[in-house]
Amino acid sequence: MRENIYTIPINEAFENPCGCPLCRLESKLSRDALEYVMGAAMMEPDVRLETNRLGFCRAHLDEMLGMKNRLGLSLILQTHLEEVRKKGLPKGGLLGKPDCASAAKQLRKTEESCFVCRRVNEFMEHYYSNLLHMWEESDEFRRKFDGAEYICLHHLTELLERGASALGKKRQAEFTEHAVALAAAHFDRLQADVDTFCKSFEYQNAGKPMTEGEKRAAERIADALTGAVIEA
């Protein structure tokens, strides 16, 4: 299979034996998008039009607040807030009377949109389609896929949704089996680890040593169910 700008990072993510490879890819995209928007792109008029229009979700705002460019962030938010006040806040409905449903619908759009999420999601679509193509075409990649520690529930859902249209019927059954098996095996391990953690609070188990994995069972379950932010 010919390599392209998507296949190389996908292969690299699946060569790492820790965590969900798609969480790894998405975390890197998110970091790149944040650096982009907080860097030189901030002063590009085209980018500012988009950040003014789309704004940011809470998770990405938290990351931006933690980055060292408070003036830059304030400038971005200054013009975004101006736009929210101008366009984002609903006026009254029919005949000037307020209409809760349409006002809520308009606000929901403002609340839910995020410049960084949109940029990440656009890239993720390319990763999903390339990954499914690689899985279909390459024995070597199918082996790599099975070698992942797990696929989180969030990315398993995203992959299967796209597999429904990208893969033929026979391939779909095989892909579903392998992808679900990766998540299921991990859930079995997590169940055992969280059981051990909870039992460690019973008096007869006081002082019994636990593995790092058992101690971090709650965090690992959260990652496996909803996806994880993986540091570089």
Shortest reach from residue 161's CB to Zn ion, in Å: 14
Compare residues 99 and 187 and give the one whose CB is closer to Zn ion. Answer: 187
Residue 20 CA to residue 228 CA, distance in Å, equals 8
Shortest reach from residue 148's CB to Zn ion, in Å: 10
Shortest reach from residue 20's CB to Zn ion, in Å: 3
Compare residues 92 and 147 and give the one whose CB is closer to Zn ion. Answer: 147
| 172 neighbors 164 (Cβ within 8 angstroms) | yes
Q: Per the structure block, which two tokens stand in for 183?
A: 């998540």
Q: How far is CA 66 from CA 30, 32, 164, 231, in A?
A: 14, 15, 39, 14
Compare residues 48 and 60 and give the one whose CB is closer to Zn ion. Answer: 60
Residue 104 CA to residue 194 CA, distance in Å, equals 41
Shortest reach from residue 187's CB to Zn ion, in Å: 14
Compare residues 114 and 167 and give the one whose CB is closer to Zn ion. Answer: 114
**Contacts with Zn ion, residue ranges (CB under 5 A):** 20, 22-23, 57, 60, 114, 116-117, 152, 155, 227
Compare residues 1 and 49 and give the one whose CB is closer to Zn ion. Answer: 49
- How many Å separate Cα 227 from the centre of its chain? 6
Shortest reach from residue 74's CB to Zn ion, in Å: 19
Nearest to 224 by CA among 169, 187, 176, 170: 187
Q: Per the structure block, which two tokens stand in for 219?
A: 């965090």
